Structure 1
Amino acid sequence: MVNPVLPNSEPKMRAHDVSVYYGAKRAIDTVSIDIHTEHVTAFIGPSGCGKSTFLRTLNRMNDTIGSARVEGVIELDGDDIYHSGMDVVQLRARVGMVFQKPNPFPKSIYENVAYGPRIHGLAASKAELDANVERSLRRAGLWDEVKDRLADPGTALSGGQQQRLCIARAIAVEPEVILMDEPCSALDPIATARIEELIDELRGRYAIVIVTHSMQQAARVSQRTAFFHLGNLVEYGDTSQIFTTPREQRTQDYITGRYG
């Protein structure tokens, strides 16, 4: 596996020799990768290759699976996120996740966004909370569509709007990293385009990692691409290089449709 020349800045997250096991089965085999704030990083590969499993290691979502075990080191700003002293609730505020299927809470649009800042103590007054909700909805490109119906249920929105609401909910707690696990797979092309525009607008403000089955989407939204196959990180580099002059034959075979 060949690594690209990395940016001058320190990585926001760094994974070193990470393996993931479900019981005796190894799903990820000694993966090392750096995640930078300047770039959107895409994880691509065929179904079952481990890309979503690896994504979930970055905010310890695999902790919820009893048989899962993670080996290796993953650091956020140099701190080992699997250290026994790590506050997992705080970690997941710093490293937010947007899932494949939009999952708004059964609450109002306002309460969906306000929930996180309220429980994390990020607003000292109703005015501060209102400002946070508006700011988050604006960043998610949803404010103008919902500002007059904030009391309506979040579940009443369209699929694309629900996904942007979930992104607003994630960024309302002021994260540093946003993980997106196939965020457009349940959306129509118009909603997908809006989410892709949003990802581009958020780039540089947050370190963003997206898992996608669509190579076209990876090419459109990311600056770095990691190709996974059978639990291994085969190749990681500039997106343009991965799609035009991959160094590994397995990468070439995948992007040209020989398997997947």
Structure 2
Amino acid sequence: MIARDVSVYYGDKRALDSVSIDITQENVTAFIGPSGCGKSTFLRTLNRMNDTIANARVEGKIELDGEDIYSSGMDVVQLRARVGMVFQKPNPFPKSIYENVAYGPRIHGLAGSKGDLDGIVEQSLKRAGLWEEVKDRLDESGTALSGGQQQRLCIARAIAVDPEVILMDEPCSALDPIATAKIEDLINELRGRYAIVIVTHNMQQAARVSQRTAFFHLGNLVEYGDTSEIFTNPRAERTKDYITGRYG
């Protein structure tokens, strides 16, 4: 994905000012910065989640495989299948584990038969590192799983429709350290198969899972580069102050 000069307004208030960034499949990209800095706002522009906010307005250009995602001809339902989203709080459907994963492929017509659908469900749960834990109870409700399992179920649900990009908005903030470690391992395993973007307040997490890091502050993209460089040799004073804990 390519974003150029993207600004976001909520009514008259500008939440994001002229952000340009490239997101590639081979890297996990982390968005870091203090609360209210615009990182989640920018994440939501990448699959048009801001469309659901009445007074939100997006300016600039965002392209997926060379297509302008804000063009009038863009099918937003199709876009959100190609650019999946995993939210801060796990939000499985009040359906069985199987149906949570099967829902997307079914409505998008990705499975020609029950056997095809079974295969997609199994493959998605395996990729999400959940298959061995749930394979004997696929008929149980997804909401009965633990928090960490629910989040992996949501990741399985996102990858079941074969997206190109997966957006994760603080996916571990509601989880304990063991569940967080499993999600981080999963992100590392999925890298290269999908372009992954993660918003996180946890700088150690950004350092562990990402190869590229973007630092946002007060609606501006202050610095974007290799994660190792951002954390060890930041170019901007504001980045250095944030990383060393002078504010946050």
**TM-score of the superposed pair, with normalisation by structure 2:** 1.00
SS of the residue corresponding to residue 190 of structure 1 reads: helix
Tell me how far 1:193 sits from its aligned partner. Answer: 0.1
In structure 2, distance between residues paired with 1:176 and 1:36: 10
Tell me how far 1:230 sits from its aligned partner. Answer: 0.2
Equivalent position to 2:157, from 169, 181, 192: 169
* Structure 1 residues without counterparts, runs of 5 or longer: 1-12
Equivalent position to 1:199, from 184, 187, 196: 187
Query: Are positions 1:234 and 2:222 aligned together?
Result: yes
Tell me the equivalent position of 2:78.
90
Equivalent position to 2:56, from 68, 86, 91: 68
Tell me the equivalent position of 2:32.
44
SS of the residue corresponding to residue 199 of structure 1 reads: helix
Tell me how far 1:186 sits from its aligned partner. Answer: 0.1
SS of the residue corresponding to residue 29 of structure 2 reads: strand
Per-residue CA deviations over 1:12-56 (Å, capped at 9, x if unaligned) read x00000000000000000000000000000000000000000000
Structure 1 segments of 4 or more deviating over 6 A?
none
Query: Are positions 1:148 and 2:127 aligned together?
Result: no
Tell me how far 1:169 sits from its aligned partner. Answer: 0.2
In structure 2, distance between residues paired with 1:17 and 1:176: 22
Query: Are positions 1:131 and 2:131 aligned together?
Result: no
RMSD between superposed Cα atoms in Å: 0.2
* Structure 2 residues without counterparts, runs of 5 or longer: none
**TM-score of the superposed pair, with normalisation by structure 1:** 0.95
Equivalent position to 1:34, from 22, 25, 29: 22
In structure 1, distance between residues paired with 2:128 and 2:113: 23
**Aligned residue pairs, count:** 248
Query: Are positions 1:209 and 2:175 aligned together?
Result: no
Equivalent position to 1:246, from 234, 238, 245: 234
In structure 2, distance between residues paired with 1:53 and 1:66: 14
Tell me how far 1:153 sits from its aligned partner. Answer: 0.1
In structure 2, distance between residues paired with 1:174 and 1:244: 35
Tell me the equivalent position of 1:259.
247
SS of the residue corresponding to residue 94 of structure 2 reads: coil
Tell me how far 1:209 sits from its aligned partner. Answer: 0.1
Tell me how far 1:100 sits from its aligned partner. Answer: 0.1
Tell me the equivalent position of 1:183.
171
Tell me how far 1:235 sits from its aligned partner. Answer: 0.1
Tell me how far 1:110 sits from its aligned partner. Answer: 0.2
Identity among equivalent pairs (%): 86
Tell me the equivalent position of 1:120.
108
Per-residue CA deviations over 1:76-113 (Å, capped at 9, x if unaligned) read 00100000000000000000000000000000000000
Amino acid at match of 2:236: E
Query: Are positions 1:19 and 2:4 aligned together?
Result: no
Tell me how far 1:231 sits from its aligned partner. Answer: 0.2
In structure 2, distance between residues paired with 1:176 and 1:112: 20
In structure 1, distance between residues paired with 2:234 and 2:66: 30
Per-residue CA deviations over 1:95-136 (Å, capped at 9, x if unaligned) read 000000000000000000000000000000000000000000
SS of the residue corresponding to residue 161 of structure 2 reads: coil
Equivalent position to 2:45, from 37, 57, 60: 57
Tell me the equivalent position of 2:96.
108
Tell me the equivalent position of 1:10.
none
